[in-house]
Amino acid sequence: MPEGHATRAATDDLDALQKRRAESDAADRVLVTKAQQGDRSALGELLQKHGPGLYRSVLLPRLGNEAAAKEALSETYAKVVANIGKFVWQNVGFYPWLRTVALRVALDQLRAKKRLVLFEEDDLAREIDAAETATPVEQQVSDHRDREAARAQVEDALGRINPRYARAIRLRVLEERTRDEVAAELGVTPATFDVLLHRAIASLKKALGERGQAGVASEKDDE
């Protein structure tokens, strides 16, 4: 494709994206206004529209399991219902506000329940802080960024352990390939692979635990 055509196509895509976002925001604004006047169905529509993305891109990756993510989603909705009256439309749409509320709920949950997850309290606190400075983006773009951030967190965690262990986890746990296939790829018997994977997980737990302790130590130093 000639360069001029490619540029025009990119500009058209951007225009279409902006138009779609503007339409979506306009629809959301109407729903927000109705919800603030007490219209439950409007609020329900808003949550139906934005909730699934929020769950999949924000809550589940950060909280690490489905039960915790669903609990956080319920709590987020409860806060939205209670605070929708305080929400002031600021031309960045509804989703950023919803996402900030969800991140705060997730942060509270991480503080309350010490579980082994990839995201730490500090990570979420930084994200909440960043949420306020970020320019408004379409929810899809925001979802994509959140998903990329989660994957980067996984890569970071795997980078802390022996590369062979990291590879075992990547192939079996993340790519969900069969045990025999992965064992063959790593050049070991399936039985040996079981032990290898167990050790890989134990090593990752240890690495994450050390990271957590380092975080606590630096907090104490700051104090």
**What is the closest distance, in whole angstroms, from the C-beta atom of residue 32 to another protein in the complex?**
12
d(C-alpha 157, C-alpha 116), whole Å: 12
According to CB under 8 A, which one of 31, 32, 77, 139 is a site residue for another protein? Answer: 77
Through-space distance between the first and last CA atoms of the chain, rounded to whole angstroms = 59
Closest CA to 48 of 68, 77, 21: 77
Stretch that binds another protein, among 6-14, 19-27, 41-49, 213-221 (CB under 8 A): 41-49
Write the binding mask 78 to 117 for another protein: x where contact by CB under 8 A, - elsewhere.
x-xxxxx-xxx-x------x--xx--x----------xxx
Tokens of 166: 């990291």
Give the residue with the Cβ less far from another protein, 24 or 61. Answer: 61
63 in contact with another protein (CB under 8 A): yes
State the number of CA atoms in the 13 A half-sphere of 149 facing the CB. 19
**What is the closest distance, in whole angstroms, from the C-beta atom of residue 18 to another protein in the complex?**
23
Are 193 and 171 within 8 A, CB to CB?
no
According to CB under 8 A, which one of 21, 34, 160, 199 is a site residue for another protein? Answer: 199
Q: Tell me the one-letter amino acid at 223.
A: E
**What is the closest distance, in whole angstroms, from the C-beta atom of residue 205 to another protein in the complex?**
6
Q: Which of residues 127-186 bind another protein (CB under 8 A)?
A: 129, 132-133, 147, 150-151, 153-154, 157, 169, 172-174, 179
Cβ contacts of 198 within 8 Å, gap of 6 or more: none
**What is the closest distance, in whole angstroms, from the C-beta atom of residue 91 to another protein in the complex?**
12
Cβ contacts of 102 within 8 Å, gap of 6 or more: 54, 58, 59, 72, 73, 76
- Sign of the four-CA dihedral 55, 153, 119, 183: positive
Neighbours of 108 (CB within 10 A): 14
Residues forming the site for another protein (CB under 8 A) = 35, 37-40, 43-44, 47-48, 51-52, 55-57, 60-66, 69-70, 73-74, 77-78, 80-84, 86-88, 90, 97, 100-101, 104, 115-119, 129, 132-133, 147, 150-151, 153-154, 157, 169, 172-174, 179, 194-195, 197-199, 201, 204-205, 208
